[in-house]
Amino acid sequence: KAGVTQTPRYLIKTRGQQVTLSCSPISGHRSVSWYQQTPGQGLQFLFEYFSETQRNKGNFPGRFSGRQFSNSRSEMNVSTLELGDSALYLCASSTGDRQETQYFGPGTRLLVL
């Protein structure tokens, strides 16, 4: 089976712009979670989608949003980018069983200038 794929892999934006990141889960997986990884804060949970519904949401401002499509692919959007949004954004998929492990994609490295 192909692994989790994320596009784009690298992105440079300027403050105030918006960005959309994409994640394709492992075939058959219905749950997609998004994380922000920074050197200082580690891995922080953004949100989780299961069958097109947001199942959990982390403690991030409303500028961060996401959605999931019927084929389980997911996108996350960050509007009005700030310098502090520079990070590695990781997507992880699982079958949907809450106790299951997560399979991470390679991430999208976002740099905000």
Partner 1 sequence: GQQVMQIPQYQHVQEGEDFTTYCNSSTTLSNIQWYKQRPGGHPVFLIQLVKSGEVKKQKRLTFQFGEAKKNSSLHITATQTTDVGTYFCAGRRGNTPLVFGKGTRLSVIA
Q: Which residues bind partner 1 (CB under 8 A)?
A: 33, 35, 41-45, 48, 56, 58-59, 90, 92, 98-99, 101-107
Would you say 48 or 85 has its CB closer to partner 1? 48
Q: Tell me the closest approach of the beta carbon of residue 36 to partner 1, in angstroms.
A: 11
Over 25-71, what HEC string results?
CCCCCCEEEEEEEECCCEEEEEEEEECCEEEEECCCCCCEEEEECCC
For residue 54, CA distances in Å to 25, 32, 38, 39 come to 16, 10, 23, 27
Q: Tell me the closest approach of the beta carbon of residue 92 to partner 1, in angstroms.
A: 8
Would you say 62 or 97 has its CB closer to partner 1? 97
Bridge partners (DSSP) of residue 21 are 76
Would you say 14 or 51 has its CB closer to partner 1? 51
CA dist., res. 69 & res. 56, Å (int): 16
Would you say 9 or 63 has its CB closer to partner 1? 9
